[in-house]
Structure 1
Amino acid sequence: MPVADLILKNANVVTVDPGQPTAELVAIKGDKILLVGGSENLESVRGAKTRVIDCQGKTVVPGFNDAHCHPFSLIRKLVSIDLSPPAVSSISDIRAIIKREVHNTPAGQWIMGTDYNDFYLAEKRHPTRWDIDEVAPDHPVLLSHRSLHACVLNSLALSLAGITGETAEPPGTLFERDLDSGEPNGLLFEMLGHIREKVVPPLSAAEINQGVTLANQHYLSQGITSLQNASAINDFERWQTCRRFQDAGKLKSRIYMMCGIETLSQFQEAGLSFGAGDSQLRLGGVKMILSEATGQLYPPQPELNQQVFHTHRAGFQLAIHAVQPSTVAAAIIALEYAQRQLPQAGRRHRIEHCSECPPHLLGRLKKLQAVVATQPPFLYYSGDRYLATVPAERQPWLYRIGAWLNNGLVVAASSDSPIVPDNPLVGIYSAVTRQTRSGQLLLPRQRISASQALAMYTINAAYASFEEGIKGSITPGKLADMVLLSADPTKVPAEQIKDIKVEMTMIGGEVVWED
């Protein structure tokens, strides 16, 4: 047996490996796990230069893998104004914050706020251009909704974007308008990506460096050793940016980067196929967004079928954003069409979110061998809103995690961060309890065990990116990505899971964060 570089001893190791579910010791050689065993194995792998960490009986789990998040949006959020509840609870609060920012910002320079949530505003509506104009007439202002599917621009920002009363909405988008004048009121749906990419000046080098530094520390402090970047606007430039920061040691978490249907050709022209890269940065699937912002499916079903088929034929995984029952059904129809045209097993095409999934669709998902990448923390952070706004007849379809798992689907857990906070332990708590922030229960019959929830954040998430052979469990030969926790989420009372602390994060055998 080779000598280990590092040993974690006196640990409660929850391996997420059914062949050896628990252990007391993990030995690491280089960036891989060498041995998983008991205290009696210590001397067989310890050498004169081996570092030994005494875990003092605390719990070691595989590194968490957030299967659907938006790190570039998080970076932008970290250098923008935070408008999230409960600190911001009214449009008056938003106006006051922007007014303060105006005093510190030269005229003409953009002011950007993130994460406002109309459901939690006292006025129970979105801000409008006119709300913002009163406090910021000389600054372009962009406010992004917590969903990232809506944004608000003031009049100066609308002018810079070239949006007037005569401007036609691009396909799949919607401009809310004043009923009397027909003028856009500043609220735009499915336009945020375009505004950020084409209208707002790019972040400065200093802002990017600051944002990456903050994001890196944030992910490591949450025990997130891998993340799956699910932005549909990821392009080759973003790929190069990630690689540059990873090579410089400024971005430690491993990244599975999806691209969009419109940016796929950039990667293909660079000679990159699905799965290209390495364990640190890998090219993932093609993200497609199904929207009903205009009241009709976009893209229309025939166009969607063709886009999905061509992507399937090109060898790329599909990752289809589908929230409402009709969009989930449309995604299934498109995947079924692709498989009829070119039958291929093991493609692991994904439904992202699958928020409202009627029972009659479950069998079709299973036949497709689709992976569901869903967001358990939405139950906690958004559950009260669901109970208040989702029609009663559709509430039984919300996040049917228990039914999916019981019927043999692979379900990967994620946060959709920065939509909601990305603490995986809150996600595990949410899947186990189905309890909202106010204490209401949301479909308790869909509860799952803590072990199942932990698997969703580890081995299942790795499966969703075709990487279960190299990570996702504490198994000899796999990457030494692990997290030390203050308590065992599979053993403590369910209500305590969300309060468990990450005490140490390790990536590739390197301790990259300690509390």
Structure 2
Amino acid sequence: MRSSLNQSPITLIENARFLTQDPQNPVADAVVIVEGKIIALDESAGRFQNVEKIDAEGAIVVPGFNDVHAHSVWFGQTLLEIDLSQSKTPGAVYEALAGALKHEGSEQLGAKPQWLIASGFNPNLLEGAELEINKLDRSTGGRPLLIKHNSGHAYTVNSKALEIAGVDPRDPVEIEGGEIVTDQDGLATGLLDENAMRIIQDILQPEASSELVQALERATQHYVTEGLTSVTDAGVAGGWIGHSPREISAYQAAEIPTRMQLMPTIDVLHNLSGHTSEEPGYGIDTGLRTGFGDDKLQIGPTKIFTDGSLLGTTAAMSEDYQCCSHHGYFQGDVEEMRGQALRAASLGWSLALHAIGDAAVEFSIGVIMEAIDSFGAPSMPHRIEHGGVVQDDQIKRMADYGIILVPQPRFIREFGDSMAEKIGVERTNLSYPAKRLLDAGMILPGSSDRPVANGAPLKVMEAFVNRETETGELYGTSERITAAEALYAYTAGSAYVTGWGGKKGQIKPGQLADLAFLEDNPLEVASTSIGSIEVVGTMVGGEMVHGKF
């Protein structure tokens, strides 16, 4: 031990207040780092000689933030595509598209210049108005158009795009688990819900590895400016959320400053041959599965989509939506989805089931309970992603079985008014829970679903605490948690959920030296100011990857 320390650089961070997230030692004043790990705090830090000192200039230092549900390639692409996030009228959308045509060859046209590709579109901002396909046609000058909705569960396209996809706008085909939306005359409007998006993805994908690398590098360089040191990509390599069968190789090729965990979609898993004495395999070629990798890049659970979204009223509910007389739908045959999930679990995969409506949550709980009863609890916990509506009895069963729920409170800040309109006041009190999870003894992680919503961790933490909609209305205030609970969720909570509890997420000897340096204390500022705190530095594995130190 002594000779190793003598050979390795020793870094001492001082003049800081460390919020350790270790209940046994919640605050520290000095930290010593060797070979990317924390080895000493406070008085123990003083025994080291010949240290390289970092003066933190009075910063508040917390464990690096960990977003357990984001989409990095998708987010990186939004930084290259036409931005419709501020377009609040159909006219503004048409103008943005027409304006992009004047910048031929610019980055704004994205990696496929023959197409116009736009991101960040929120149809709920149009206040009842809808895009018209004939006006989209005129605005795009004969070019095929793809508008990605920020929900991730819908596209809007023009007539040229439908033509390329082989769809007759006068007589569109029916698609299981999705819809080519039509008007009262049976004509395609250009809106593609859920699995209907695949008709466009089949044209534009697989995407080139060089495009994926570029998107990843842009995304992760942005992450570290917000104190993010670990991110889980919730669905890669296949399905309608993937970009290429070679997507994982792009993470190996890219210069990425953050730690990454990847969820291959269930679409990627397939039968694997082996020795005649073995049961048939089911997974990725070579037999890779949950847990493979290291602290920089790792395979996580397999991602399974069971339903859609609240914004698109495609999430599977037990009762009708408030706004319309239907209760959504599942994305596939429930018995087929159950069979896939159980087969994956039987062969070592942890499960991450996207479930927003309470009917989908019920289905997912049943599948995971059956998996645990049959095959035991996995080393990396099974998860349910989102939980747009979750009943009390469902939380009890999740707690009993150690199932993780991964909610996104930032949805409330950005889409709360629209969600409340669709599900009604009663169900907003059951929507994207947090306090009920903690009260039940469950571990709460931090996540954003970026780029569906703003993914800055401090802004998500503020949403955990305030639960206010875009217009300041309160949304399920009984689910509010404290700033301290929100900070723990985004650090130690996330580490546990991703299988890294005790190895990162706390400022504690033996854990990875991933740190975020903040200009102010999120536990002491007004709750409405948490999201405005500046991140003045970010460290990953003992190396500064952002900031002034």
Fold shared, TM-score > 0.5 on shorter chain: yes
Q: Which residue of 2 aligns with 1:8?
A: 13
1:189 pairs, out of 189, 193, 196, with 193
Cα deviation for residue 152 of structure 1 reads 0.7
Q: 1:409 to 1:346 in 2, by over 3 A?
A: farther
Q: In the alignment, does 2:284 pair up with 1:268?
A: yes
Secondary structure of 2:445's counterpart equals: strand
Cα deviation for residue 361 of structure 1 reads 1.3
Q: 1:215 to 1:344 in 2, by over 3 A?
A: closer
Q: In the alignment, does 2:392 pair up with 1:359?
A: yes
Deviation per residue, 1:170-215 (Å, 9 max, x gap)? 32111101221x2322100114763564212666677555433421
Equivalent residues, number: 503
Asked if 1 retains the 8 angstrom alpha-carbon contact of 2:142 and 2:160, the reply is yes
Q: Which residue of 2 aligns with 1:141?
A: 145
Stretches of structure 1 that go unaligned for 5 or more consecutive residues are none
Q: Which residue of 2 aligns with 1:157?
A: 161
Cα deviation for residue 71 of structure 1 reads 0.3
Q: Which residue of 2 aligns with 1:92?
A: 91
Q: Which residue of 1 aligns with 2:304?
A: 288
Q: Which residue of 1 aligns with 2:465?
A: 432
Asked if 2 retains the 8 angstrom alpha-carbon contact of 1:258 and 1:287, the reply is yes
Partners of 1:404 and 1:442 lie apart in 2 by 17
Partners of 1:196 and 1:422 lie apart in 2 by 27
Q: Which residue of 1 aligns with 2:109?
A: none
Choose 207-216 or 488-497, whichever is displaced more.
Answer: 207-216
CA-based RMSD of the aligned residues comes to 2.3
After TM superposition, the structure 1 = structure 2 runs for residues 76-225 of structure 1, keeping only pairs within 5 Å, are 76-84=77-85, 87-105=86-104, 109-122=114-127, 124-164=128-168, 165-180=170-185, 182-191=186-195, 194=198, 197-200=201-204, 208=212, 210-225=214-229
Q: 1:489 to 1:162 in 2, by over 3 A?
A: same
Q: Which residue of 2 aligns with 1:492?
A: 525
Q: In the alignment, does 2:333 pair up with 1:279?
A: no
Choose 126-135 or 326-335, whichever is displaced more.
Answer: 126-135
Cα deviation for residue 330 of structure 1 reads 1.5
Partners of 2:205 and 2:439 lie apart in 1 by 48
Secondary structure of 1:421's counterpart equals: coil
Amino acid paired to 1:270? T
Secondary structure of 2:175's counterpart equals: coil
Partners of 1:383 and 1:410 lie apart in 2 by 24
Choose 328-337 or 232-241, whichever is displaced more.
Answer: 232-241
Cα deviation for residue 358 of structure 1 reads 1.5
Amino acid paired to 1:336? M
Partners of 1:108 and 1:244 lie apart in 2 by 24
Partners of 2:291 and 2:352 lie apart in 1 by 14
Asked if 2 retains the 8 angstrom alpha-carbon contact of 1:126 and 1:187, the reply is no
Amino acid paired to 2:98? K
Deviation per residue, 1:398-427 (Å, 9 max, x gap)? 122101111011121101000111111011
Deviation per residue, 1:35-66 (Å, 9 max, x gap)? 122xx44441231xx32111122210000000
Partners of 1:424 and 1:394 lie apart in 2 by 26
Partners of 1:33 and 1:347 lie apart in 2 by 24
Q: Which residue of 1 aligns with 2:22?
A: 17
Amino acid paired to 2:25? Q
Partners of 1:125 and 1:283 lie apart in 2 by 43
Deviation per residue, 1:317-360 (Å, 9 max, x gap)? 11011111111111112223333443446662101001211222
Cα deviation for residue 32 of structure 1 reads 0.9
Q: 1:441 to 1:178 in 2, by over 3 A?
A: closer
Asked if 1 retains the 8 angstrom alpha-carbon contact of 2:361 and 2:390, the reply is yes
Q: 1:206 to 1:262 in 2, by over 3 A?
A: closer
Asked if 2 retains the 8 angstrom alpha-carbon contact of 1:68 and 1:229, the reply is yes
1:478 pairs, out of 511, 523, 543, with 511
Asked if 2 retains the 8 angstrom alpha-carbon contact of 1:23 and 1:36, the reply is yes
Cα deviation for residue 437 of structure 1 reads 3.2
Asked if 1 retains the 8 angstrom alpha-carbon contact of 2:15 and 2:56, the reply is yes
Q: In the alignment, does 2:258 pair up with 1:242?
A: no
2:492 pairs, out of 440, 459, 466, with 459
Deviation per residue, 1:74-127 (Å, 9 max, x gap)? 12111101100xx311110000011111233389810000111111114x2442
Secondary structure of 2:220's counterpart equals: helix
Q: Which residue of 2 aligns with 1:44?
A: 47
Asked if 2 retains the 8 angstrom alpha-carbon contact of 1:173 and 1:189, the reply is yes
After TM superposition, the structure 1 = structure 2 runs for residues 222-233 of structure 1, keeping only pairs within 5 Å, are 222-231=226-235, 233=238
Amino acid paired to 1:237? R
Cα deviation for residue 263 of structure 1 reads 0.6
Partners of 2:48 and 2:419 lie apart in 1 by 53
Asked if 1 retains the 8 angstrom alpha-carbon contact of 2:116 and 2:145, the reply is yes
Amino acid paired to 2:432? Y
Partners of 1:115 and 1:191 lie apart in 2 by 19
Amino acid paired to 2:101? V
Cα deviation for residue 387 of structure 1 reads 3.1
Tell me the TM-score normalised to structure 2 length: 0.86
Choose 190-199 or 235-244, whichever is displaced more.
Answer: 190-199
Q: Which residue of 1 aligns with 2:355?
A: 322
Partners of 1:343 and 1:254 lie apart in 2 by 28
Q: How many percent of aligned residue pairs carry the same amino acid?
A: 29
Secondary structure of 1:252's counterpart equals: coil
Partners of 2:259 and 2:371 lie apart in 1 by 30
Cα deviation for residue 166 of structure 1 reads 4.5
Q: 1:209 to 1:349 in 2, by over 3 A?
A: closer
Secondary structure of 1:270's counterpart equals: helix
Amino acid paired to 1:443? G
After TM superposition, the structure 1 = structure 2 runs for residues 407-426 of structure 1, keeping only pairs within 5 Å, are 407-426=440-459
Partners of 2:245 and 2:508 lie apart in 1 by 33
Cα deviation for residue 221 of structure 1 reads 0.3
Asked if 1 retains the 8 angstrom alpha-carbon contact of 2:154 and 2:197, the reply is no
Secondary structure of 2:31's counterpart equals: strand
Amino acid paired to 1:422? G
Cα deviation for residue 487 of structure 1 reads 1.0
Q: 1:22 to 1:95 in 2, by over 3 A?
A: same
Asked if 2 retains the 8 angstrom alpha-carbon contact of 1:304 and 1:334, the reply is no
Q: In the alignment, does 2:317 pair up with 1:310?
A: no
Q: In the alignment, does 2:443 pair up with 1:443?
A: no
Q: Which residue of 2 aligns with 1:383?
A: 416
